[in-house]
Amino acid sequence: MKMILKRVLILIPQLIIISIITFTLGAMMPGDALSGMIESGVCEEARQKQRELLGLNKPLPARYVDWAGGIMRGDFGQSFTHRRAVSELIRERAANSFALALLTLILTYSIALPLGVLAGRFSGTLIDKGILLYVFIALAMPTMVLGIFMLMTFAFGLGWFPPRGSVDAIIVAEGSLGEILLNRLYRLILPASTAALVSTVGIIFMLRANIIERKNADFAVFARAKGVPEGTVFRRHILRNSLIPVAAGLGFAISGLLTGQLFIEQIFHYPGMGSLFFSAVRAQDFAVANAIIIIFASLSALGMMLSDIFVMLADPRVRVV
């Protein structure tokens, strides 16, 4: 319990360092909260007065405190291209991104777990070799390239799925809630399965290696010597022990998932946080870009903490802190 508390406390300096780095990044960028708000005709004097009022003339450390305090209250500043609060913009996109991430995660694990178990159980056979071939090819395929393949075959070639967007405009206007949800799900399938095909690779590899390593571990040999049938040895002893690291990797998977989504959202024109980020960078709207960076970084910090805690719970011998 004390260890877990200690691990949670580490999160605080981590978040502070992340915020300092992000703030420095923001300070290096051209433009500030004022640059998009005022007309070009406003005289210099009024501009300075407004800057004073917004606290933009303070020294950097004071501005950092203001900025960090704002984030604590959920205020990420103003977007000058959209002329709205950044937090509002992000809230709109966050639900879309979350849906995509969730479906990707479900698909990833439902593909990776059976394949990893099969490859490990029957290592060296044709099944294992087939699965490994898939792993290598998926490893060599950049997300974008796979995305283009999927678009070509399933959207343009076969016409099964629409190539872009998150929901049909007509259905939003006229359909019932159930129809809207169904349409959203239907449009999520192509981007989510593309992302999943890429992200399964690591899990399959890890699960396979874990199982092979534990096949001849002392506890497995002992169970066999006791006369336990091989199937039971595999299920009760080998598989259980092999799944612990995989489950612990779930937290680490978050940062990979977020990065993967950047590309996926862009190629499928899916309105999530990744595409918001890219359009913000293109428009040089760095308040938005910065906010998304700090959110992603905090999420992966959180994910890493959860992973560490899970490992501590599953195996108390491990010292993470």
Partner 1 sequence: MQFLNEIKHDKFAIISAITLAIILPGVFIGAPIVARFYDVMRVEPTVLPISPAMSGTILGLDEMGRNQLHLLIIAARNSFFLAFCVTFFSFALGLCVGIFSGFYGGKVDHVIMRVTDTWSMLPFLMVVVVLLSVFGKTVFNFILFFSLFTWVFRARLIRAAALSLRESEFIAASKTLGTPNIVIIFRELLPNLTDVVVANFVLTLAANIGIETGLSLLGFGLGYDFPSLGVMLQNAVNPFYLQYFWWTWVPPLALVVIMMLCINFLGNALQRTSRSQAH
Residue ranges in contact with partner 1 by CB under 8 A: 10, 13-14, 17-18, 21-22, 25, 28-30, 136-137, 139-145, 148, 151-152, 156, 163, 255, 258-259, 262-263, 266-267, 277-278, 281-282, 284, 286, 289-290, 292-293, 296-297, 300-301, 304
On whether the CB atoms of residues 4 and 307 are closer than 8 A, the answer is no
Question: Cα–Cα distance between 26 and 14 in angstroms, integer?
Answer: 18
Closer Cβ to partner 1, 50 or 168, answer by number = 168
Least separation, in Å, of the C-beta of 90 and partner 1? 14
Closer Cβ to partner 1, 233 or 264, answer by number = 264
| Three-point CA angle 283, 288, 289, nearest 5° | 75
Least separation, in Å, of the C-beta of 261 and partner 1? 10
Closer Cβ to partner 1, 116 or 260, answer by number = 260
Long-range contacts formed by 235-241: CB under 8 A, 24+ apart: 238/211, 238/214, 239/117, 239/211, 241/210, 241/214, 241/217
Angle, helix 143-150 to helix 240-267, in steps of 10 degrees: 70
Least separation, in Å, of the C-beta of 228 and partner 1? 29
Least separation, in Å, of the C-beta of 9 and partner 1? 13
Closer Cβ to partner 1, 53 or 148, answer by number = 148
Closer Cβ to partner 1, 37 or 144, answer by number = 144
Q: How many CA atoms, within 13 angstroms, populate the side-chain half-sphere of residue 238? A: 28
Least separation, in Å, of the C-beta of 3 and partner 1? 16
Least separation, in Å, of the C-beta of 227 and partner 1? 31
In the chain the first and final C-alpha atoms are separated, in Å, by 12
Reading the block at residue 144, the tokens are 């974008």
String of DSSP letters for 250-272: HHHHHHHHHHHHHHHHHHTT--S
Closer Cβ to partner 1, 50 or 298, answer by number = 298
